[in-house]
Chains A and B, each alone.
Chain A
């Protein structure tokens, strides 16, 4: 524990500050969980050791932390944490021997910050200062933190954050201090990036696990940018990605990219959900090919890789930008098992009538059990999960505030 973290720990708060907990049992559960420190990072990292999955759910009015064993039949629900604050980004970090949950909280009154917990939400840090700040001479002010992403496994103290207005922040001390990436901050394209419906946000951060100089970000609008020199310079990588809303349908930049995903075993292959358009790149984003084969709409936000199969990707098609609801009022997740040659609907257990739902860009997630769990949350506050890679689904929770973020973490079984 470093100095500033020790200092902040004296000002930790209990979960669900200033209000009731969801249940008294959840408190006991959370503290019981906190005593368990056996952390395993992913499938196969500790053979034979049982693991639980943490389901981190960010909503417009706080965060909920759920936990289950591998059966994923029963979930312990704890929350809301940060009552009344929007939580657009969550991340559970198991690198470097830690088991730390990060939450990007945004008070409508007092602004955005990042808080963390080492005890599954029993206590959270209260940062004395807002740690993510634009340089004074940038003329910009932080509006929202859209993404918290771990650095490479070999760099356990490196964490990235994507923010609004679009910028990339980096911490090299485990989240204590942050600095804006100047290559993007001063990019010549920056003045022409325009906000989408959710704001001008950098929401996606993809690293090359083998090449520490290469990383990729995506923003709405602006599109995809890649750096091959450790973040010093960035080039737009949008060849083949369409912009329906500009006179030039294939500009160098300006695309409204909603999400990009990558499987770590094949990092040069990327999948992209666009504001109209589904794409795949096999050359680290140099070129993109249309893969909208058999989907009811190629508009959508969320996209998620299968944890073990680099050809398998999940999406949730949305009817249109002008009508952001699931097509035909059917709640369907679509999956490709062959890198986009064909997509199939996954519907068993999901409502197939009257479902005018929307699933936002970070609200679709997977765990890394052998039979992986796939999870998504809707803007109407429903949380669904599958423990068989999407073959069948169950409702985990209903009546939550609008869900903006669903993430997972693997931890030692409690």
Chain B
């Protein structure tokens, strides 16, 4: 089971909730986010662009570590991992 915690702002998109529980296992962060997208495609659109890249001002943490310093969306996801999606330092 993988837990994916999303920003509260996503709650305005259909079927998006602050916590998404992905049953079973995921090999990579990309697979876990894809599972989020299956439930709430709108949430996934806000995390990743159409190339499958995490947006520049979005940070994804796998068990507390920013995946930019791991293997990006190809970072392996251990069993019972927690993935956090957080708005990065920026704003308008």
**A292 to B9, alpha carbons, bound, how many Å?**
50
Q: Is there an interface contact between B92 and A140, defined as CB atoms closer than 8 Å? A: no
Which residues of B are found within 8 Å of A136, using beta-carbon distances?
Answer: 50-51
Q: Which residue from B14, B46, B51 sits with its C-beta under 8 Å from A141?
A: B51
**A126 to B50, alpha carbons, bound, how many Å?**
19
Q: Is there an interface contact between A85 and B41, defined as CB atoms closer than 8 Å? A: no
**Interface segment out of the listed B23-31, B52-60, B67-75, B76-84:** B52-60
Q: Is there an interface contact between B46 and A110, defined as CB atoms closer than 8 Å? A: yes
Q: Which residue from A13, A61, A128, A141 sits with its C-beta under 8 Å from B50?
A: A141
Closest A residue to B90 by beta carbon equals A108
Q: Chain A contact residues (Cβ within 8 angstroms of B): what range?
A: 20 to 34
Within 8 A of B (CB), among A116-150: 126-130, 133-134, 136, 139-142
Q: Is there an interface contact between B92 and A61, defined as CB atoms closer than 8 Å? A: yes
Asked if A11 CB lies within 8 Å of chain B CBs, one says yes
Q: Is there an interface contact between A109 and B90, defined as CB atoms closer than 8 Å? A: yes
Within 8 A of B (CB), among A58-81: 60-61
Task: Return A47 CB to nearest CB of chain B, in Å.
Answer: 43
**A127 to B49, alpha carbons, bound, how many Å?**
16
**A11 to B88, alpha carbons, bound, how many Å?**
25
Q: Is there an interface contact between B88 and A109, defined as CB atoms closer than 8 Å? A: yes
A-B contact pairs, 14 of them (CB 8 A): A84-B91, A108-B57, A109-B90, A110-B58, A111-B46, A126-B12, A128-B14, A128-B42, A129-B41, A133-B50, A134-B50, A140-B51, A141-B51, A142-B50
A residues contacting B by CB (< 8 A) are 11, 13, 60-61, 84-86, 107-111, 126-130, 133-134, 136, 139-142
Given A13-B12, A110-B9, 16 new contacts (CB under 8 A): A11-B12, A85-B92, A107-B46, A108-B57, A108-B91, A109-B46, A109-B87, A109-B90, A110-B58, A111-B49, A128-B13, A128-B14, A128-B41, A130-B42, A136-B50, A140-B50
